[in-house]
A and B are shown apart, each in its own frame.
Chain A
Amino acid sequence: MRYLTTKNRAILREMVVADFKVRYQESVLGYLWSLLKPLFMFAILFVLFTYIIPISKGHEHYGIMLLTGIVMWNFFSETTTMGANSVVNNGDLLRKISIPRYLMVLTSSMSALINLAINSLVIIVFAVVSGVHPTLEWILVIPIFVELFVFSLGIAFLLAALTVKFRDITYIWEIFLQGGFYASVIIFPITMVPESVRDYFYINPIVQMVQDARNFILGSSAGVETLWVDVDSIWLTIAPFAVILFFAVLGAWYFKRRSPYFAEDV
């Protein structure tokens, strides 16, 4: 079976364009809103944790760390939430035409991907303004984002196929994301996590990715804790990658197995 053929790419393109036009044509600021959402959240949390509950003390670049975390988390949450509903929302379409089902999940992830790209520019601007020197290491963030994309898609595929069968997955996932936000050290430095359990936090691939991205952006002199420095155990070092691989394979396998029945189950 061949994926992303010319035909499928054409469908993907038109669906993404249609998706964008429908979603943003009615609001004045249009597309800007989806960009502003994480930035507002960043502003609020930044003020909260700098002036009211000063957990940022001792972290020179708390702002950049927070922004990076929010942008990455936002991507993860957008891709998985919209991916989970992508098949169900397209029920009408897939009952009538046999276009590859994975295109629907992929389409839903595209807007999140574009947001990620634009938000990355915001991070760069913010970093330069706060006095971080641009280095070649910044490029290393790209493979981290690729890793994030693979992980998010894997979960999105799994959730999309599950949602067709069990509609309550959407609500369960929402709650799960709320917990995940705190477990992924987005708003507080990982050093605040008790040392006895800190290593295990890295099993969550988001923690590994967020810490690595922060490290690449701020440079090694900033001393951001990463999996590579923090964790001694070889098993815990492999763990986040094993988790990603597990969800990517499980998601792809389950989605592929269930997709012939989407049209009648949805």
Chain B
Amino acid sequence: MTNSIPEPAIEVIGIHKEFVLPQSRTTSLKQAAVNIVRENKKTTQKVLNDVSFTINKGEFFGIVGRNGSGKSTLLKMLAGVYTPTKGEIKLHGGLTPFIELGVGFNPELSGRDNVYLNGALLGYTHKQMDTMYEEIVEFAELGPFMDQKLKNYSSGMQVRLAFSIAIKAKNDILIFDEVLAVGDEAFQRKCMEVFRQYRKNKQTVILVTHSMDSVNALCTRALMLEDGKIKHIGEVDDIARLYTESNIRSGESKPKDEVESEHSKGINVQGLKSLYSKNDYMELSIGWPERDDIHGIGVSISNINDIYVFGSNSGTTKLKNKKVKYRVRLNLIPGEYKINMATYNEKGEISGLIQDVERFNIRNDYDTTVGGVTILDHEYITS
């Protein structure tokens, strides 16, 4: 944080956005003529509702929200692609309207031609592109393929080329939408490096993403949208918590079967965080004050593909006061995990299984030296 008074880069003042739904849109002259006589009720959908915020110069600003929360619409309005129905967006400085990688890429053209085309859309003249061309090709590692048509490129190659041009963009404000969601891990690391550089150089960047990992790793401040309104704006940690909570809430809404709810009744689990770093300790307080039939507890972790990673139970440990503290070291690779629980009766038999009690994430640290399901203690010893 600097002490100087922050200078606004973008001011968003009370913007609303409504879309006319396609089925009620007039797309033929006949309809238009009919509509003059008979009043046509247009169905509109409110996508953004009174959104105001300011992004200061030098901020790496994150915008998160679930699908359909209006974040892409907001971004498109910042970029000038859409016009607000109401309200105003004030830009202080130039903005590279870079919504997606490879905008305007034409599969029928060669890689070389696409570089120049894409470059022009980013605001560069042919001459300026001439001077940057070699660098772009080198960064993309596509030297031998530049005269081939883009349609013969693999998707990974296309992304590499697009990103290599994109990072040449120089402007007061840069915007990116879900860039990190594409490409393989090696490429994602490359992206992260470039973004870290932006942050270090105090480049104003707006990043719209699903990934709390990248928000956590990069953003100085963030905004969360929910149903077209600002749910919260401020510290990255708060946003991360709210966002994960909202994801869990929507997960809960799916009906669980009767037996399961019978099993889980009266059991409470506390202390779970939504995000852990690799090798963090997870501590859960599990209590069942109202139930007398529980004499043992088991906790297991499975990954998002329902692969059973690890499980354990309290075994012969006598549980007192109808509660227990569970502590586990998360030697897990980054990703989303589910917690499942089991209860045991006095004979030590399983009396109930509760699947997918809660979920948590291991923060992505872009470490490519490990992989698999879990991280075993390991070492490479050189003589």
Contacts and interface: CB of A to CB of B under 8 A. Distances in A.
Q: Do A and B bind each other?
A: yes
Given A17-B113, A25-B108, A94-B81, A166 B32 contact: yes
B124 interface: yes
Chief secondary structure at chain A's binding surface: helix
A98 B109 CA distance: 22
B97 A98 contact: yes
A55 to B, nearest CB: 37
Contact of B83 (A15, A25, A97, A261): A261
A166 B27 contact: yes
A79 B214 CA distance: 47
B26 interface: yes
A260 B132 CA distance: 33
B70 to A, nearest CB: 14
Contact of A22 (B109, B116, B121, B123): B109
A93 B102 CA distance: 10
Interface string A165-178: 11111001000000
B105 to A, nearest CB: 10
Interface in A1-32: 6-7, 9-11, 13-15, 17-18, 21-22, 25
A263 B28 contact: no
Interface residues of A, number: 31
Interface string B119-142: 111011110000000000000000
Given A21-B109, A93-B103, A165-B27, A98 B120 contact: no
Given A22-B109, A166-B26, 13 more contacts: A7-B125, A93-B103, A95-B76, A95-B81, A96-B81, A96-B100, A98-B79, A166-B32, A167-B28, A168-B30, A260-B83, A261-B83, A264-B82
18 contacts: A13-B120, A14-B119, A14-B126, A15-B120, A18-B113, A21-B113, A22-B106, A22-B109, A93-B103, A95-B76, A96-B103, A97-B97, A97-B103, A99-B97, A166-B32, A167-B28, A168-B29, A260-B83
Cβ-closest 7 pairs across A and B:
A98-B80, A14-B120, A260-B83, A10-B125, A10-B120, A98-B97, A96-B99
Interface of A: 6-7, 9-11, 13-15, 17-18, 21-22, 25, 93-99, 165-169, 172, 260-261, 263-265
